[in-house]
Structure 1
């Protein structure tokens, strides 16, 4: 169980490193876009494969996300990476950053989707 906890903490740290890397102006734009997508996906409650699907549900969390993180870390320039590692260590001591705007956007998207689904349901069965 300790190995799993250490692995999860390592993934969390790497996500924070990417969080800072996508904000750094020395990172090329295409790397910023890729890392921003990885960070957004990691922080988002929306999964590529829903967790309730047996075995496959955790495939993205256990296999796909770590592979994507590894690729992103290889794309970030080494001097930026070491700077972001220091910032991530600092952040790990403080706690997860809170981005109310991003959270509000996710809630808004889910709200719009829910309203759309209800309207479709009533249009089809109504």
Structure 2
């Protein structure tokens, strides 16, 4: 098994899915500090968005968001949360994943955020192009 298969294989995707569910629980928990909630909300907006910032059909870069952005955002949200609280949320997410086939909701707000980022980048590129002449 190659390192790439280990990072993108079924076991890795399942582990990431469980952690995203745990992040959802962390976001909704009343004892979660606001910095962790803010980061968790942004990560979930992107993770549950039906649109990727970098489309998957673009070679190498298409998988970059799943391999880097999501795990780094998740790690930051977890680092900002109290460790016992994260452990409780993670245990609940694992239990739910084993008891039923949970599906993550698709957030339209995440899609709107991604589209707005692309529009901003397009406007910046257009402004740079016009400013050159």
Provide the TM-score with structure 1 as the length reference. 0.71
Which residue does 2:89 correspond to in 1?
84
**The residue matched to 2:88 in structure 1 has which SS?**
helix
Change in Cα spacing, 1:31 to 1:9, as seen in structure 2 (3 Å) is: same
Residue 30 (structure 1) aligned with residue 35 (structure 2)? yes
Cα gap change, 1:40 to 1:57, in 2 (>3 Å): same
Q: Does 1:95 align with 2:95?
A: no
Partner of 2:80: 75
Higher relative contact order (CA 8 A, sep 6+): 2
The normalised TM-score by structure 2 is: 0.68
| Structure-1 residue corresponding to 2:13 | 8
Instruction: Give CA-to-partner distance per residue, 1:81-115, whole Å, 9 cap, x none.
Output: 12101210122122225647x45x568x5xxx9xx
1:119 alignment partner in structure 2 = none
Matched, 1:60 2:59: no
Q: Following TM superposition, by how much is the alpha carbon of 1:40 offset from its aligned partner in structure 2, in angstroms?
A: 2.1
> How many residues are aligned here?
109
Give the root-mean-square deviation of aligned CA atoms: 2.7
